Structure 1
Amino acid sequence: MRPLAERMRPASLDEMVGQRRLLAPDSVLRRSIQAGQVHSMILWGPPGCGKTTLALLLARYADAEFRAVSAVLSGLPEVRKVLAEAEQTFAGGRRTVLFVDEVHRFNKAQQDAFLPHIERGTILFVGATTENPSFELNSALLSRCRVHVMEAVSADDIRQALERALEDETRGLGGRGLQIGESQLQLIATAADGDVRRGLTLLEIAAEVAEGVEAGQGGTVTDEVLEQVLADRTRRFDKGGEQFYDQMSALHKCVRSSNPDAALYWLARMLDGGADPGYLARRLTRMAVEDVGLADPRALQMSIDAWDAYDRLGSPEGELALAQVAIYLASTAKSNAAYKAWGQAQADVRKYGTQEVPMHIRNAPTRLMKNLGYGRGYQYDHDAEGGVALGQTGFPDAMGERVYYQPVERGMEIRLGEKLERLRAEREAAQGNRSK
């Protein structure tokens, strides 16, 4: 009656697939588990990588009771009940491995409930999470547990689990005469996307709908059957979690490093995973001003046009506009000079506080203000030689002239830099002569 993935859950460390770094034969964790000397821990990894299985094996090797609660389904009253039972078990001379699935969904108060029991050794706490513990778990709990990072299982390792399920006559599908090809097994392993449980579930579905299957016996998994089983599968993606921000970071950094092919890949990954295209359009526009800047001013307008095109076309047609601008942003000249200049200007605003506007560039709409000296000495740039009045400053007197914007020698900023370098030198000379 139990699903294949549950029946085939490893009964020993040797049956686990994947996690070769964490559970290598000479690793500290493996040796401690086999010796029954385990510690409280946080298992951080994607779905189907073996977190629950490892917790069960911890209890088995340590000859401890195993209790599991889910942060999605359980509240504080149920947690307290389980902890009270663990106290009684501990008093009887046996420890309890308490497995808390999705532990990141517990709030701070609920997480704190475990602390005294971990300290006294009443429980061996094993928390499982798909989210970054440093963001989702409080520091008190983290200080009492060791974090172990678990990785998505490779397609080759998943295939090994599938083959074992096909051979096992007690727990798996062995002895049924199921016919499935090597290439089909590989397709299932790849479609599992790093999730052993998903791979076994897909294999079980394929076995149930195989051509010619009768009363659970025999059957052939044809390419047509497998195509239907694997249809509309989704890749791992969390629209609000760390995977989202990691992939967004990858897209941004590939644009910045002028790698349009990699940028396209990450854009496709995010759209495939269900990211909001409007959000991606906004971030691409940000890249246009942060990383391309004035080296190619066309990039900003192209980003806005792509955003507008998506709003008009929607998915999937509008996604091509986002792809096009991602290619352009990654391919064109880059400059963060405007981004850095803006940051320096903001820093000076905070540093110097509320400075008075110099009198010569103040607005003077009334006679009184003119009599008070507002606008006095202002030089109208259009009347000056070359169209720039070099003898006047634009900064508050307490600050003096400042230089924020320093163009790079790429794209259009080459010409901007040459012009500004000349103007700044002439302005410095003109203001120096004026002060003598």
Structure 2
Amino acid sequence: MFHTPAIPPLAERMRPRNIDELLGQAHLTGNTSALRKSLTAGNVPSMILWGPPGVGKTTLASIVANHTHLPFFTLSAISAGVKEVREAIEKAKVAGKAILFIDEIHRFNKSQQDALLNAVEKGIITLIGATTENPSFEVNGALLSRCQVYTLKSLQEDELIRLLQRAMQEDTYIKQRTIQLKETAALLNLSGGDARKLLNLFELVVNSFAPGEEMRVTDALVMDVAQRKVVIYDKSGEQHYDVISAFIKSIRGSDPNAAVYWLARMIEGGEDVKFIARRLLILASEDIGNANPNALLMATNCFQAVTMIGYPESDIILSQTVVYLASSPKSNASYMAIREAQALVREKGSMPVPLHLRNAPTKFMKNQGYGKGYKYAHDFEGNFTPQEYFPQGLENTKLYEPGHNAREHELRRSLKNWWGDKYDY
């Protein structure tokens, strides 16, 4: 039985082979640019390519490797670890020198990045790292100091249209079809400056036509195909905010099944693991609070753990934490208390601190009455004695209303026991 070889996606078929074919990065590829001069001189530095998805980071790394004629090794920081880094360095030693391309290098933790330092410094490898995150925050200072940082920009509308036209004229499979590109707004909007997303969506649209059918590409058709066949998740666009909103609301609503689903959507979409963990930290305090104080500890440990190990193992830790938070009792009492307190401060301004609550480090301050009459709680039975802590005019103000859950019922009983009717909830 004969098998037809798999046809690579259009974006891969249209990948530029040399620097002159690369669209949209004239500041890097122009005749007077530093990168082109380095290529011409044959003295290519280690570099970090920083820019949004689909702007040519991987392509540029491949072009650099082709130009230098050096062995080219690639790793993905999502799946590779220190072991794979060391294996690549050993291969480079055998070859004499090589280019090591690491996609999503920001996902490497400190120890993984440190494993590269010696090989970069000694010239065993020319490192090319690709990242969508600001390298100043995500790449170790020691490694960053050994690399040039080149910023890639999203493709502009005219460049994206040129890319579509080039595909219709040059791609072996696309140019065999008679295509009328009637409208491009939907293709451009959905791609968001991402050339890979644009070409692959365009190919889906073209393949949606039956053989012999008139191929008129319209915005309505593109939207229909996108909704049926493409899971759109743009880390910097509307879907980013829609999905994180659904994620948070699922946890707040105590549905671990839906919460894990939205978590998977973000993970599969390449969302930054620390962004997800930060949102869990906020939620643990805002939506669970003292109903389950362990929730904040769990979320804090989650953030520390995923920061250290990155993907792919972080998906398990995130899932455990999400399930725990979604299954916890909920309270927004602390959140509401600070919001009401902030509103009160904005309304009343900076009211004077009562004299008995002020420090009195000098004799003059003591003579002015600072600290006079203050009752030190630990001098009294049960480490409590009633006194006024609010500024004058705000006495007996209530800002914290304990939630209706087991833990905060305990807090309510304690406050009632101490303060009596003043804290009669």
TM-score, normalised relative to structure 2 = 0.56
Which structure has the larger Rg?
Answer: 1
1:229 aligns with 225
Q: What is the Cα deviation at residue 86 of structure 1?
A: 0.5
1:164 is aligned to 2:166: yes
Contact 1:213 1:219 in 2 (8 A): no
> Do the aligned residues in 1 keep the contact of 2:101 with 2:127 (CA within 8 Å)?
yes
- Give the equivalent residue in structure 1 for 2:52: 46
In structure 1, C-alpha distance between the alignment counterparts of 2:220 and 2:104, rounded to whole Å: 37
Whole-angstrom distance in 2 between the partners of 1:52 and 1:165: 19
Aligned to 1:331: none
Task: Give the corresponding residue for 1:180.
Answer: 180
Q: 2: CA distance between counterparts of 1:158 and 1:69?
A: 28
Aligned partner of 1:139 in structure 2 is 141
State the distance in 1 between where 2:240 and 2:198 align.
23
Counterpart of 2:211?
A: 213
Corresponding residue SS for 1:26: coil
**Shift in Å, 1:219:** 4.3
Asked if 2 retains the 8 angstrom alpha-carbon contact of 1:236 and 1:273, the reply is no
Alignment counterpart, residue 155 of structure 1, candidates 134, 147, 157:
157
Q: Distance in 2 between matches of 1:116 and 1:109?
A: 13
Cα distance in structure 2, aligned partners of 1:173 and 1:5? 12
Specify whether residues 152 and 273 from structure 1 end up closer, same or farther in structure 2 by C-alpha distance, changes over 3 A only. farther
Post-superposition shift, 1:105?
1.4
Q: Tell me which residue corresponds to 1:409.
A: none
The structure-2 alpha-carbon separation of the partners of 1:358 and 1:50, relative to structure 1 and needing over 3 Å to count, comes to same
User: In the comparison of the two structures, how many residue pairs are matched?
Assistant: 283
Q: Following TM superposition, by how much is the alpha carbon of 1:350 offset from its aligned partner in structure 2, in angstroms?
A: 10
Residues 362, 97 of structure 1: CA spacing in aligned structure 2 closer, same or farther, 3 A cutoff?
closer
1:89 aligns to 2:87 (yes or no): no
CA distance in 2 between partners of 1:274 and 1:122 (Å): 42
Classify 1:60/1:228 alpha carbon distance in 2 versus 1 (closer, same or farther; 3 Å).
Answer: same
Alpha-carbon deviation of 1:270? 6.6
Contact 2:155 2:194 in 1 (8 A): yes
State how far apart, in whole Å, the 2-side matches of 1:364 and 1:107 are: 48
Structure-1 residue corresponding to 2:244: 274
Change (3 A) 1:209 1:339: farther
Consecutive unaligned residues of structure 2, counting only runs of 5 or more, are 1-6, 253-278, 287-342, 381-390, 394-425
Hey, what does 1:27 align to over in structure 2? 33
Using the alignment, how far apart are the partners of 1:82 and 1:102 within structure 2? 17
- 1-side partners of 2:347 and 2:144: how far apart? 41
4+ residue segments displaced more than 6 Å: 336-340, 348-353
Matched, 1:98 2:97: no
Alpha-carbon spacing, 1:361–1:51, altered in 2? closer, same or farther (3 Å): same
| 1:188, distance to aligned residue in structure 2 (A) | 1.1
Give the residue type in structure 1 aligned to 2:53: P
Residues 270-314 of structure 1, C-alpha deviations (whole Å, 9 max, x = no match): 7446344787xx99xx9xxxxxxxxxxxxxxxxxxxxxxxxxxxx
8 Å contact from structure 1 (residues 112, 141) kept in 2 = yes
RMSD, aligned CA: 4.5
Deviations 1:138-182 (A, max 9, x none): 111111111112122223212211111111144x511x1232324
Q: Note the C-alpha offset of 1:67.
A: 1.0
Task: Tell me the distance in 2 between the aligned counterparts of 1:140 and 1:340.
Answer: 47
Unaligned stretches of 5+ in structure 1? 238-242, 248-267, 287-333, 370-380, 388-436
- Percent identity between matched residues is 35
2-structure distance, mates of 1:62, 1:341: 66
Length-normalised TM-score, structure 1? 0.55
The one-letter code of the counterpart of 1:49 is V
Pick closer, same or farther for the CA change 1:270–1:58 going to 2, 3 Å. Answer: closer
